[in-house]
Homo-oligomer: A and B are copies of this chain.
Amino acid sequence: MSNIKALPLLEPEVPEGVAPCCPPLTERPLTAEEAERTAAMFKALGDPVRLRLFSLVASHEGGEACVCDISDVGVSQPTVSHHLKKLKEAGLLSSERRGTWVYYRVEPSVMAAMGQMLTAAAPAA
């Protein structure tokens, strides 16, 4: 009980730019507040149309796409806009207007944080 404050190396698996969200799901039970915030992010990816839109943005050249590039997912244009807004509210996308077009891009740290809650958790068995 002498080196409590000294060593911040206890979680070495987390890369640099990862948002400080929550521990891996296997580490300890999430609190109610943690679950509330984190579930909101997973929920944002829990709709097929939104997941496709997200994938379209994430895989687009330059890491960003304007709405006109990704509007072909089988729903009306206002519905696309609605889903993009939800992804933005969840913190997964950010948007910027440049002239006539609005460009969306992924928020890499948030995605990485979500991924680590799952991958850093796997080999607990």
Residues of A whose CB lies within 8 Å of any CB of B are 15, 25-30, 32, 35-36, 38-40, 42-52, 54-56, 58-59, 63, 73-74, 105-106, 108, 111-112, 114-125
Contacts and interface: CB of A to CB of B under 8 A. Distances in A.
21 contacts: A15-B122, A25-B111, A28-B55, A29-B56, A29-B59, A32-B73, A35-B49, A35-B51, A38-B51, A39-B45, A39-B51, A40-B46, A42-B42, A44-B46, A58-B124, A63-B125, A108-B125, A112-B118, A112-B119, A114-B118, A116-B119
A7 to B, nearest CB: 23
A56 B30 CA distance: 7
A78 to B, nearest CB: 20
